[in-house]
Amino acid sequence: MTRILHRSIGVALPHAASAQGVYITDTMGRRYLDGSGGAAVTSVGHAHPEVLAAMRSQIDNLCYAHTSFFTTDAAEELAEKLVDLAPEGLDYVYLVSGGSEAVEAALKMARQYFVEINQPQRRHIIARRQSYHGNTIGALATGGNAMRRQQFQPILPETHHVSPCYAYRDKGIDETPEAYAARLADELEAKILELGPDEVMAFVAEPVVGATLGAVASEADYFKRVRAICDKYGVLLILDEVMCGMGRTGTVFACEQDGVTPDIVTIAKGLGGGYQPIGAVMLSASIYASFANGSGLFQHGHTYLGHPVAAAAANKVVEIIARPETLANVNAMGARLQSGLEAALGAFPYVGDIRGRGLFRGIEIVADRESKVPFDPARKLHAKIKRQAMARGLVSYPMGGTIDGINGDHILLAPPYIIEASEIDLIIERIAESIDAAIAE
């Protein structure tokens, strides 16, 4: 009997009792290898002594001070650190409490920027189908995932969507990655022209798509082309790195690998590493200047912005992420995960694609490899894989259902950055067994 409205009602969940490194232990003493870091949250591992010490020290001194009245050393230091690590051009930080809040703030920043610079007609947001940007109304409207939007559609503000960069399904057999990227960029340009180039406010995209597709990175120079089109029409580029940022893909910011700097970037999940709820929006000096020289105020706010304990935790998490040995491990273990999955599942008749960057890897399950036809969504294969994996002591992040006509099942793997080779091998062994068992059900 539970008094909590859990996401899935009627499913008995184990009670997590403790966690250490890459393992979570429940109240029955069962150990689970955290193969997906929850939902790609746990970045530096559970119970990292340095993060715990930083939080304790903050708690002993100050737990809360409202940002209308005070700033704190913890928040200021965190902002400084993030600006130091970010691609050049992201000079200011707005601290929030999670991913959806970060996306909401980013959208409002974009809108206010155009009001401040006297272009109030700019209001359209373009994002991509099969994307996820959060569950609050504005963020949900921005995301293009049909399944998540479906029943809320009538209350969502209008957003426009173009195709994602999803080569496994959309790139023509004879099409080069460059031609594919150019085709998608043309589609974005056509959408901007259709809506009216001086009425479009922002284009929003995840550099590596997480929650809806399972670690799908872009092809060739896709984001460079997108950046050029945004610049051509004065549209802001907002990159959502809530899931793929903060070292997850092998660089602190995922967009570093795409060679672009957005006007605004959102980060969360790995930033707090699960120690505290925290997110951030980073913005360009020109957006900041439009507020500073205009109304002198960003017309937004939440009670827990820049929470000092969350900032202290994130400060230490970011410091650990930025250490060369941490990112080196993400890259080495990510490569091991990719090649291990290919070796274990490559000949599997139901594995269509294995992909990703760093410790952000996705597996796409199909009923037929040749035609790439997915399984009937009514089978809920992704849910079965999750259950089979939990029974084997593995946390994985499955997704599935009807997504714009593609009924796909995917599994996301995103273990903590401190994972070791033997633990990577265990993930591979357990996920292969789980897929097998789920299909046999």
Least Å from the CB of residue 211 to ligand PLP:
4
> Of residues 106, 239, 242, 311, which one binds ligand PLP by CB under 6 A?
242
| Residue 240 Cα distances to 124, 158, 342, angstroms | 17, 19, 28
195-234 positions binding ligand PLP, by CB under 6 A: 206, 210-211
Smallest distance, ligand PLP to C-beta of residue 54, A: 21
- For ligand PLP, the binding residue among 45, 98, 340, 356 (CB under 6 A) is 98
Residue 307, φ and ψ in degrees, nearest 5: -55, 130
Beta carbon nearer to ligand PLP, 97 or 290? 97
Q: Which stretch binds ligand PLP (CB under 6 A): 52-60, 129-137, 351-359, 374-382?
A: 129-137
133 contacts ligand PLP (rule: CB under 6 A): yes
Q: Is 103 a residue that touches ligand PLP (CB under 6 A)?
A: yes
By the rule CB under 6 A, 134 interacts with ligand PLP? yes
CA 101, 102, 107, 113 dihedral sign is: positive
Instruction: Identify the residue among 185, 243, 311, 418 touching ligand PLP (CB under 6 A).
Output: 243
Beta carbon of residue 234, minimum distance to ligand PLP (angstroms, whole number)? 25
Work out how close the CB of 254 gets to ligand PLP at its nearest, in angstroms, rounded to a whole number.
Answer: 10
The nearer residue to ligand PLP, 386 or 430, going by C-beta atoms, is 386
String of contacts with ligand PLP for each residue 254-293, x by CB under 6 A: --------------x-------------------------
Minimum CB distance to ligand PLP, residue 292 (Å): 27
Minimum CB distance to ligand PLP, residue 130 (Å): 12
Dist CA 210 CA 131 (whole Å): 8
- Residue 311 contacts residue 95 (beta carbons within 8 Å): yes
Binder of ligand PLP out of 39, 229, 322, 332 (CB under 6 A) = 39
The residue whose Cβ lies closest to ligand PLP is 99
Does 126 interact with ligand PLP (rule: CB under 6 A)? no
The reply on whether position 99 binds ligand PLP by CB under 6 A is yes
* Integer angstrom CA distances of residue 110 from 96, 122, 159, 255: 16, 9, 14, 19
CB of 282 to ligand PLP, least distance (A): 14
State the nearest-atom distance from the C-beta of 300 to ligand PLP, in Å: 16
Residues at the contact surface with ligand PLP, assessed by CB under 6 A = 39, 98-100, 103, 132-134, 206, 210-211, 240, 242-243, 268
